[in-house]
A and B are shown apart, each in its own frame.
Chain A
Amino acid sequence: MRATRRDMLLAMGAGMGTLALPQILRAQAAAHVAVVGGGFGGATAARYLRRLNPDLRITLVEPQEQFVTCPFSNLYLGRLRDWDSITHGFDGLRAAGIEVIHARAEDVDGSARSLGLSNGARLDWDRLVLSPGIDFRWGDLAGYDEAAAELAPHAWKAGPQTQLLRRQLEAMEDGGTFVMVVPQGAFRCPPGPYERASMVAHYFKTHKPRSRVLILDSQDRFAKQPLFRQGWQALYGEMIEWVGQSDDGLVVEVDASTRTALTAFGTRHKADVLNVIPPQKAGLIAERAGVTDETGWVPVRADRFESVHVPGVYVLGDATIAAPMPKSGFCANAQAKVAAAAITADLAGREPPPASFANTCYSLVGPGWGISVAGVYRAEGGKVVEVAGSGGVSPLEAGPEFRQAEADHGAGWYASICADIWGTA
């Protein structure tokens, strides 16, 4: 059994005289947990740490004053949601007693246990939580860099890019083609591209009915595929065309100025609106903290989501290697609660409680037509495993009441999880 901090304190106090005591006592009185990232993982971790131990000092570092969620940003593109409804501030977290600093995390020193910020400040921490989301592998797809993204938006981090894509869709003439490029490798929100295609098709159907949607995919199968295809056929007829990798869906080069995508087999697709979802990796600060591996993602101890490389640094969400858990906001939220419990236990010198996670991802195919995938997970032998017999997707044979219920539940999920995280709904 490991010594508690209290035991250590007593032992050290006895051994070292009284000089060292005040500092140790201060650390004991108010351990400091710094959290980087105000999204689904980070903001949840901050809030649940506060709930589990009101004595902790918690600092949340997030550059943006308002956080725009990727979940439901496709509904904004489909004009089914307004911008404000997917935008969340941090007043709720401040009201819960969390210090929120709007700056960028620049570097992490895992030995000195400190964090450098873009505003010049340095924070010392006892435990660090990184929930940095994704960054893009600019240049992996020939012709696609940050400048190109201003012409052919990715809109895969919600914010100005999402608004740019919507403006382009609104400016497009009826009869135009929206082309989406789906990347190779692991990416945030596996069903996201196909929900986006659905929402763009909904917008076209209601505003520009002669237009079409073309998905050029580097994969041969995709999340909830039979459910999406069934819904597309029923709601949009032939409007959405999906081309998998084997049928020449793999895009190898992009020319953003002419909005052209070139495939591996040499086909050039000219788009009126070109949406390129780039190849991805863990958010940059994870790399700087030394917690990523050669894949660009972050390996973690599955029972607590602590880095396998740097003790005391916990990493959550899309940045982590957590398969079979998908890169979803729901998973980041679930992982954050496990990590918060583990950190609280660890600081108190206890073993963490057994990890348990779940995921539910709703996608909207059209108004009143929702579909879902779910899973329940636990940690076993250092890995995340799906509990046998749990989870799965909505039944393909379900009727309209079922699809309507899942559309309603999707909206209900969004209201609940936003209340759970930011205290907003």
Chain B
Amino acid sequence: MIRLLSIVFLAGGPGAAGAQDLDAAAVQVLAGPCASCHGPDGRSPGAIPSIAGLPEATAAERMLAFRDGADPAATIMPRLMKGYDEAQIRALAHWFAEIGS
């Protein structure tokens, strides 16, 4: 929890609206819909990549690239990531890194 809050703090500043709400329970809710495509706890049984245990920095970078339209091969992730601010994205990256693969 302390680590999570510190992540949020580091990611704060302009554009980080709602960051003050990001305690563990809030991040768990944010992460809820991820499982619907990436599998329970981010472990996918099918064609969509697993995200559990992805290194935090890699995952955050990837999600931010989706959001900013920097991945021309992406399909649905840009549309989804545009719904989250940077603090939320970094908190999600931390969440799935902590779960472990």
Contacts and interface: CB of A to CB of B under 8 A. Distances in A.
Interface of A: 48, 52, 330, 333-334, 337-338, 341, 345, 350, 353-360, 372, 374-377, 387, 389-392, 394, 402, 405-406, 408-409, 411-417, 419-420, 425
A231 B90 CA distance: 37
A354 B21 CA distance: 7
Given A338-B32, A358-B83, A360-B37, A415 B44 contact: yes
Contacts of A425: 45-46
A372 B21 contact: no
Given A354-B29, A358-B83, A405-B75, A412 B48 contact: yes
B75 A406 contact: yes
A365 B86 CA distance: 35
A316 to B, nearest CB: 13
A354 B36 CA distance: 19
A422 B78 CA distance: 29
A109 B79 CA distance: 43
Nearest to A48: B32
B47 A390 contact: no
B35 interface: yes
Given A356-B32, A412-B37, A376 B84 contact: yes
Nearest to B45: A425
Interface in B1-37: 18, 21, 23, 25-26, 28-30, 32-33, 35-37
B45 A394 contact: no
B36 A334 contact: yes
A413 B37 contact: yes
A167 to B, nearest CB: 29
Nearest to A350: B25
A345 B25 contact: yes
Contacts of B26: 353-354
Which has the most chain B C-beta neighbours within 10 Å: A333, A353, A392, A417? A353
Contacts of B35: 416, 420
B18 A354 contact: yes
Contact of A374 (B28, B44, B48, B79): B79
B80 to A, nearest CB: 5
A102 B75 CA distance: 40
Given A337-B32, A374-B79, A389-B83, 4 more contacts: A360-B80, A375-B83, A409-B76, A417-B36
Contacts of B38: 416
B48 A413 contact: yes
Contacts of B23: 353
Given A354-B18, A358-B83, A390-B83, A415 B47 contact: yes
A358 B33 contact: yes
B53 interface: no
B37 A416 contact: yes
Contacts of A330: 33, 36
B16 to A, nearest CB: 14
22 contacts: A337-B29, A345-B25, A355-B29, A358-B83, A360-B37, A360-B76, A374-B80, A377-B83, A387-B83, A391-B79, A391-B83, A405-B75, A409-B76, A412-B46, A412-B47, A415-B44, A415-B46, A415-B47, A417-B36, A419-B39, A420-B39, A420-B40
